[in-house]
């Protein structure tokens, strides 16, 4: 069993730097109260705390965090790694820490991968959307640096002339494609209000579209009408005016994940524009021939029919027994009715013959199914 670690001054200073200090209790948006360095357990309205008492409350909160880290981290840790884990668990919560990918990698003996897994926790739900918070990006970087700092400055050399870094395409998902948002807090009375900086003004819907949008739509419509003109009709290129660069609108939203098929994220797609001549500038009308060839589709792979589920051999044996029962009944009934009255349509002898035929049929079907089952078993062997 590994020795139990205790939180050092490095973890306390790291937590105090990122948690901040609040002298008077303030109410969070979820209704809870916070005071000092992120203390919420005993905080209530109207309470004030000094700097020394705030640090004492932080040490009290770290007792539970340190216990969870000691109980769930099975790999041997140095003091820097333990301090970084305590700060990380204090921020994301002990429940999230127990089921985090970071702890799983650490217990698997992959310390470097565990440090990289810290960066997965850099988002927060704010104003109804999940965004990358710049403060969380900085905090994860500080915790990762502390986690990877060796004891007694036993650094492993990686000289630049020998090991020149190259672009690692596998690590591109560690870079936030979404621009980190800076969130600040302010007090309104005794409530904490979070506010993002640089909020864009809301777009007011209008009945009439913007001139740039209208021009771009007309240009696209003209190009489509000229390309897909009716057979025998001369295409009208006057409406297919080229789109001016100023008409291209900048998107308001940036996708967090790259488009499938794009090798480099956040890369502008360089789509070449088809040069259409402008008749007003003396350009000649090109002779465009549209080949209406059928599309060649890749035939879909035929899925094999599901194998029919074979019935149990018990049913075949029951069918054979039923055939024997019918045949025995027919023999018994026929022997006992010999010499009886034969008048009428339904006679005992005819009933015996029908029962005998049914019994023979059942026996033939049962024997056939048993032979078929034996043949299939021989083919599989």
Which stretch of 47-56, 113-122, 157-166, 219-228 has the lowest confidence by average pLDDT? 219-228
pLDDT band at 267 (very low <50, low <70, confident <90, very high): very low
Query: Distance (Å, rounded) from C-alpha 352 to C-alpha 46?
Result: 102
pLDDT confidence tier of residue 176, bands split at 50, 70 and 90: low
User: By percentage, how much of the chain surpasses pLDDT 90?
Assistant: 34
| Region 260-277 average pLDDT | 41
CA gyration radius for the chain? 40
Q: What percent of the chain has pLDDT over 70?
A: 65
pLDDT given for residue 288 in this prediction? 41
What is the pLDDT, as a whole number, of residue 375?
80
* From 19, 201, 291, 296, the catalytic residue: 19
User: Averaged over 233-260, what is the pLDDT?
Assistant: 45
The pLDDT, as a whole number, for residue 294 is 44
For 46-60, 106-120, 191-205, which range has the lowest pLDDT when averaged over its residues? Answer: 191-205
Q: Does the structure show a pLDDT above 50 at 377? A: yes
Q: Is the alpha carbon torsion for 174, 177, 178, 181 positive or negative?
A: positive
What's the average model confidence in pLDDT over 81-104?
95
Tally of CA atoms within 13 A in the half-sphere of 209 that contains its CB: 9
Assess whether pLDDT exceeds 50 at residue 289. no
For the question of residue 55 being annotated catalytic, the response is no
More confident call, 325 vs 92: 92
Q: CA-to-CA distance for 321 and 311, rounded, in angstroms? A: 17
* Close Cβ partners of 44 (under 8 Å, ≥ 6 residues apart): 25, 33
pLDDT of residue 179: 72
List the single range of 11-25, 127-141, 143-157, 207-221 with lowest mean pLDDT.
207-221
In this prediction, residue 60 carries a pLDDT of 94
pLDDT of residue 250 exceeding 60: no
The tens digit of pLDDT for each residue in 318-342 reads: 888 888 888 888 887 777 776 655 5
Q: How far is CA 133 from the centre of its chain?
A: 20
What pLDDT sits at residue 232? Answer: 62
Q: Would you say residue 247 has pLDDT above 80?
A: no
User: Is 37 within 8 Å of 54 (Cβ atoms)?
Assistant: yes
Give me 8's structure tokens: 């050092």
Fold of 9-155+171-196: Lysozyme (1.10.530)
Identify which of 226, 225, 217 has the alpha carbon closest to the alpha carbon of residue 248.
217
Return the pLDDT at 33. 93
Residue 261 zone, left/alpha/beta (φ > 0; ψ -120 to 50; rest): left
pLDDT at position 265 is 39
């Amino acid at each position: 069993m590994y020795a139990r670690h205790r939180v050092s001054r490095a973890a306390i200073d790291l937590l105090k730097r990122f948690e901040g200090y609040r002298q008077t209790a303030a109410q969070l948006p979820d209704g809870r109260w916070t005071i000092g360095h992120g203390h919420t357990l005993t905080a209530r309205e109207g309470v004030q705390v000094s700097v020394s008492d705030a640090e004492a409350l932080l040490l009290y909160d770290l007792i539970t965090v340190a216990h969870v880290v000691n109980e769930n981290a099975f790999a041997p840790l140095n003091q820097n790694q333990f301090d970084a884990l305590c700060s990380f668990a204090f921020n994301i919560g002990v429940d999230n820490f127990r089921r985090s990918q970071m702890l799983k990698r650490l217990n698997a003996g992959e310390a470097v991968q565990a440090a990289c897994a810290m960066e997965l926790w850099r988002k927060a739900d704010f104003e109804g959307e999940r965004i990358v918070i710049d403060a969380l990006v900085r905090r994860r970087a500080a915790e990762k640096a502390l986690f990877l700092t060796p004891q007694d400055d036993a650094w492993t050399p990686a000289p630049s002339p020998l090991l020149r870094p190259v672009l690692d395409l596998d690590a591109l998902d560690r870079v936030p494609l979404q621009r980190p948002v800076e969130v600040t807090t302010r007090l309104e009375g005794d409530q904490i209000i979070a506010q993002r900086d640089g909020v864009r003004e809301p777009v007011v819907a209008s009945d009439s579209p913007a001139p740039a949008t209208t021009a771009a739509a007309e240009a696209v419509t003209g190009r489509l009408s000229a390309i897909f003109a009716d057979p025998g009709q001369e295409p009208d290129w006057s409406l297919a005016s080229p789109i001016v660069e100023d008409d291209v609108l900048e998107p308001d939203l940036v996708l967090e994940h790259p488009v499938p098929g794009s090798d480099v994220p956040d890369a502008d797609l360089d789509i070449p524009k088809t040069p259409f001549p402008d008749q007003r500038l003396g350009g000649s009308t090109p002779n465009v021939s549209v080949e209406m060839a059928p599309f060649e589709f890749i035939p879909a792979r035929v899925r094999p029919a599901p194998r029919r589920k074979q019935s149990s051999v018990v049913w075949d044996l029951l069918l054979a027994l039923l055939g024997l029962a019918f045949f025995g009944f027919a023999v018994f009934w026929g022997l006992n009715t010999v010499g009886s009255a034969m008048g009428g349509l339904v006679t005992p002898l005819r009933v015996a013959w029908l029962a005998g035929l049914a019994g023979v049929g059942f026996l033939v079907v049962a024997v056939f199914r048993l032979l078929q089952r034996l043949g299939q078993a021989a083919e599989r062997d």
